[in-house]
Structure 1
Amino acid sequence: MDDKLQSTTITNHGLNDTELASADVVVVEKAGTSRDAEHMRRLGRKQELRPHCVVAFGLFNGGTAGLIYTYLIVVFLFFLTNVSMAEMASMAPTAGGQYHWISEFAPRRAQKVLSYFIGWLCTLGWQSGVAIGCFLAGTQIQGLIILNDDSYVYARWHGTLLTMTMALFVFVFNTFLARHLPLIEGLVLCLHLGGFVAILVPLWVLGPRGNSHEIWTKFDNLGGWDSTGLSVLVGLITPLTSLLGADAAVHMAEELKDAGKILPRAMIWTSAINGVLGFIMLVTFCYTLGDLEEIVATPTGFPFIQVFYNATGSKGGATAMTLILTVSSTANAMTNMATASRQLWAFARDGGVPFHRWFATVQPRFEIPLNAVVFTAMFTILFSLVNIGSTVAFNQILSLGLGALLISYFISIFCVTLRRIRGQPLLPSSFQLGKLGLPINILSLCFLAVGWVMSFFPAMAHPTPQSMNWSSLAFSSVMILGAIYYVLKARHHYVGPVEYVQKTV
């Protein structure tokens, strides 16, 4: 999810001093700019936060050709999706993101219920994203131990302890060093770009050379599906996951200066940069892959570690290259926790979760939703225990985030599309799609519908309980729990963000 990392970074460094001076806004230390204050007034909110700035799956289903072509398609269509959301972010820059947009743009009769369930899904989805981020960073370290120590005996609980350690580290940063998040993200952006070169050059110089004809034309169906076409569709999960999360910056909107203007730029540039860099990395990976079966069966658990080792022939070289990605994964987990806690805080502010008053508290000393950050860290620590029983179950349950975010994108864009079809006015904003809005929105909806359905498919046909994609169960469970809480309590006090919006702009 590097796009989540870069999105907040670009947001804070997207304008130079000259551009800021010509933007005709007044910067206020805590409230941001005068334009930010106007957005908060219209949204009926008070500025409380200080402005801060899975490749194996695709190889199994589609092979190298499937990975490359689905990636290109997903990059283009995800770009249209992110452009659609960027327009909404410019109209209503708020930490609530999708559930707030739905509350404002959905038909009146559906505003309350739709925004509630999307808020519930996004909140739990982003919480799962933090757990996955910490798990990836922790288990990459475990993969390096396997690579460098032949006497090491792999155990799942080791990975769980490393995940917990990562969660605690990320928690401390998001609590006591939150003011330095823009600086850290700027440094990590430099690492991200520098590491991109540091990884590619050794692979280009030392790695094996694949056959171009096979790489670009051979589609694999190792999952045993009825057709190669279906297998390629199942492989969509890989590019979908790698490009997911451009809405991360949205949930930090109330901590950004001139968010209505900068957020769309951040989201668009993030999509474009990550799309190009990701394609270069993907093609390089496919050309230097070597033996597919060896890569997929690597004892490290990460195909890219095996590719690095095969290319360099050196454990030290492979370790250095992997550490670049591990540091990036750690920084990504930091951003995920910040995003997840703000999403929880915003939804709690509207009374959407149990103990909402506690979650909605912002401590003046830290100027962050500390209680929401604490819960996010504890959720990751407790949920990582599932990995001791089954890593597959842990990954598949937490893949809830993919389905949850895709459906939140779909419904929020659908609401805007419906307004366009009906000729209803949209809110004024710094970024508008104009006449291209409707075709862009419709293409985005078609793409998201297909992606959402495929996100629940397992990696292979006729799966065993261990290889089953249990995210459909997790998704249904979250919806049922949300419905129970809504019927018992939330319907009595949750009204939706639209009720707080000032009607005169």
Structure 2
Amino acid sequence: MESAVSQPAMATIQDDDERLLARIGYKQELRREFTKWSTVSYAISILGVLGSVPATIGSPLGSGGPATAVWAWFIGSCMAMCIASSVAELVSAYPTAGGMYFVTKHVVPPEHVAIWAWIIGWCNFLGQAAGVASVAYTVAQMILAAAAMNSHLNPDGTYAYQPNAVQTVLLTILLLCVFGTICSLTTKSLHKIILWFAPINILGSISICIALLVLTPNKQSAKWVFTEVTDGSGWGSKGFSFLLGFLSVAWTMTDYDGTTHMSEETHDAAIRGPLAIRLAILVSGVVGWMLTITFCFCMSDFDAILASPTGLPVAQIFLNAGGRVGGTVMWFFVILVQFFTGCSAMLANARMAYAFARDEAFPFSGFWSKVNSLTKTPVNAVWLVVTFCSLLILIGIGSTQTIIGIFNITAPALDLSYIAVILAHRVYEHRVQFIEGPYSMGMWSRPVNAIAIAWVCFISVVLFFPPTKPVTGANMNYAICVAAVIALVSLTWWFVSARHKYTGPRTKDLLDLVPTEDPDLIREYSQQLPPPEP
């Protein structure tokens, strides 16, 4: 009988996902439990159009009328696809929990990586945190609006129950804790839960549209819905009022790289992440447009619905169509989908915090980047986000305008962080070697990148502009003030302390990550990387 021949030990990397992560420079710490469908469902749920459109449609309706809401959504969705495709192309090459923040390391010269990564990272983290806080705050408002809808209606047209700022803030903090509890589960549990987010969102949207069109009496004409543009902003120009209508789609269609923050927990992340990003924009764009058109058709009394005592025009549309019972049932699904959006947004923010802490960008980074031994997820980073968002929300007790200004920073902070990386990729492409991933736009890459950059620069000005005139302390858009404070604090911190310690994404050499007795296997993959940085 022949003796067994000893075989050399195989590499400890188990599959191509872990090999790719090791080539990038990180050790696999999280479990890859997300599948193709849970990744797509997550990407769609983080946009959550059934919750986001009812929460934001009042702005374009009030500023420019129904046609503004309809066509601004259509145009904005097309522009969102350009941004999302540009983001997908970059993160396909480097699918890590850091998302676009990590990509910075591979699109700018080594001597500029630290400052670029610092700015992009903080823009991304703070933009996401403001988004999480705003979604939780919106869910609280929706729940309290439902309570008001079901209270007694006074003779003056107001509801007997009127929620105050303290109640809204406390309910928001409770919701943030619920989000945090869900996001602290294992990746396998999150996969099973998130798998249902998108189907409920899509089926709920279709069902509500059918119900509203059947039940609403005296619907508006198609001509009114698709052609009626008003000057509700007070700026004296229907054209400018139309531009303000982009606020709804800009607030909804953002956080494109949210899916990529789950890359280290997703199988075939380099392929499935970009696919999910683009598919989410397509589905959300179509469903959001369908909802917007339906709501406009069902605004039988335009002025009365905008001035609804619920404070949310869509809630009044539901009441008019289905009464208290039917309206509350439809509103429940809006709240549920917005709740899903909050969970998804917090998950992305927590993974970004984990990635940022892993690179020593936070105080006590070792604690925040720790992976829980039981769940194998970064639970500490989750509760960092819960705590930070709760502190932001407390501002709402003293100043509603300030908290709204913080919420309004979400879209410009995220979008500007994306196009900064896209622009850097194009500016330094002849100096920095960039290894393309499985997804590439080929010859369309440069023109699509150019459209994305131009659009974000344009829409950011709109997002920072006061929405109505005359401008007063009550209606001022304080987002520009919040942005200035964030920039001042971040850059001061950099020049005083961080530039001496922070070096950008802290990757390791492949051989340090993968001890093996088969160096030929490691050499095969390491040859695909550019020479190590000095």
* TM above 0.5: yes
| Partner residue, 1:225 | 235
Q: 1:84 to 1:111 in 2, by over 3 A?
A: same
- Which of 338, 347, 372 is the matching residue for 1:338? 347
Q: How many Å apart are 1:177 and its aligned residue?
A: 5.7
Aligned pair partner of 1:121 in 120, 123, 126: 123
1:308 matched residue in structure 2: 318
Identify which of 426, 435, 438 aligns with 1:417: 426
CA separation of 1:462 and 1:115: change in aligned 2, threshold 3 A:
farther
Q: Distance in 2 between matches of 1:245 and 1:483?
A: 23
Q: Within 5 Å, which residues of 2 pair with 1:271-282?
A: 271-282=281-292
Report the equivalent of 2:447. 439
**Normalized against structure 2, the TM-score is what?**
0.85
Aligned-partner Cα distance in 2 for 1:56–1:300: 12
**Aligned twin of 1:187:** 196
Query: 2:249 aligned with 1:268, yes or no?
Result: no
**Partners in 2 of 1:448 and 1:109 — Cα distance?**
27
Write the distance in 1 (CA, Å) between the matches of 2:357 and 2:130. 17
Aligned partner of 1:251 in structure 2 is: 261
Q: Does residue 49 of the first structure (1) align with residue 49 of the second (2)?
A: no
- Give the structure 2 partner of residue 143 of structure 1: 145
Aligned partner (choices 466, 473, 491) of residue 465 of structure 1? 473
In the aligned structure 1, how far is the partner of 2:291 from the partner of 2:277?
21
**Equivalent pairs, count:** 473
8 Å CA contact 2:219, 2:298 repeated in 1: yes
The 5 Å alignment of 1:49-128 reads 49-53=30-34, 54-128=56-130
In structure 2, the residue matched to 1:20 is none
Amino acid at match of 2:440: Q
For residues 449-477 of structure 1, give each alpha carbon's deviation from its aligned partner in whole angstroms, at most 9, with x where no partner exists: 11122111122123211211111111111
Matches within 5 A, 1:402-413: 402-413=411-422
- Contact kept in structure 1, 2:106 and 2:434, CA below 8 Å: no
CA distances 1:227-246 after superposition (whole Å, capped 9, x unpaired): 22122212211111121122
The alpha-carbon deviation at position 259 of structure 1 amounts to 0.5
Distance in 2 of aligned mates of 1:137 and 1:306: 17
**8 Å contact 1:102–1:411 — kept in the other structure?**
no
Give how far 1:82 is off.
0.6
Matched, 1:385 2:394: yes
CA shift for structure 1 position 356: 1.9
User: What residue identity is the alignment partner of 1:199?
Assistant: I
Residues 107 and 432 of structure 2 are in contact (CA less than 8 Å); yes or no, is this contact kept in structure 1?
no
Displacement of 1:74: 1.1
Q: 2:16 — aligned with what?
A: 35
State which drifts further: 374-383 or 251-260: 374-383
**How big is the alpha-carbon RMSD for the aligned residues of Structure 1 and Structure 2?**
1.9
CA contact (8 A) 2:31 2:187 kept: no
Q: Is 2:72–2:246's contact at 8 Å kept on the other side of the alignment?
A: yes
Specify which of 327, 331, 334 is matched with residue 322 of structure 1: 331
Quote the Cα distance in structure 1 between the aligned partners of 2:355 and 2:302: 45
Superposed displacement of residue 97, structure 1: 1.3
**2:224 matched residue in structure 1:** 214
Q: Provide closer, same or farther for how the CA distance between residues 290 and 263 of structure 1 changes in structure 2, counting only shifts above 3 A.
A: same
Aligned residue type for 2:491: A
CA deviation after TM superposition for structure 1 residue 188, in Å: 2.3
Task: Decide whether aligned partners of structure 1 residues 325 and 501 sit closer, same or farther in structure 2, where only a CA change above 3 A counts.
Answer: farther
Q: Secondary structure at the match of 2:212?
A: helix
Q: Distance in 1 between matches of 2:27 and 2:507?
A: 15
Which of 474, 487, 500 in structure 1 is aligned with 2:482?
Answer: 474
When residues 501 and 414 of structure 1 are mapped into structure 2, their CA distance, relative to the original with a 3 A threshold, is: farther
Output the amino acid matched with 2:76: V
What is the distance in 2 between the residues matched to 1:36 and 1:470?
43
Answer with 116-125 or 423-432: which moved more: 423-432
**Gaps in structure 2 of 5+ consecutive residues:** 1-11, 35-55, 153-159, 511-525, 529-534
Aligned-pair distance for 1:109? 4.0
Match of 1:372 among 365, 368, 381: 381
Q: Give the corresponding residue for 1:21.
A: none
Could you tell which deviates more after superposition, 441-450 or 424-433? Answer: 424-433
Bigger radius of gyration among the two: 2
Are the equivalent residues in 1 in contact too, given 2:32–2:187 (CA < 8 A)? no
Is the alpha carbon distance of 1:160 and 1:46 closer, same or farther for their aligned partners in structure 2, counting shifts above 3 Å?
A: same
- The one-letter code sitting in structure 1 at the alignment partner of 2:473 is P
Cα contact 1:167–1:381 (8 A) shared by 2: yes
Matched-pair identity in %? 26
Pick closer, same or farther for the CA change 1:173–1:439 going to 2, 3 Å.
Answer: same
1:356 & 1:239 partners in 2: Cα distance? 35
Distance 1:485 1:423 in 2: 29
AA in 2 matched with 1:47 = Q
Identify the residue that residue 51 of structure 2 maps to in structure 1. Answer: none
The answer (yes or no) to whether the contact 1:40–1:47 under 8 Å persists in 2 is yes
1:242 aligned residue: 252
Cα drift, residue 504 of structure 1: 4.0
1:158 maps onto 2:167 in alignment? yes
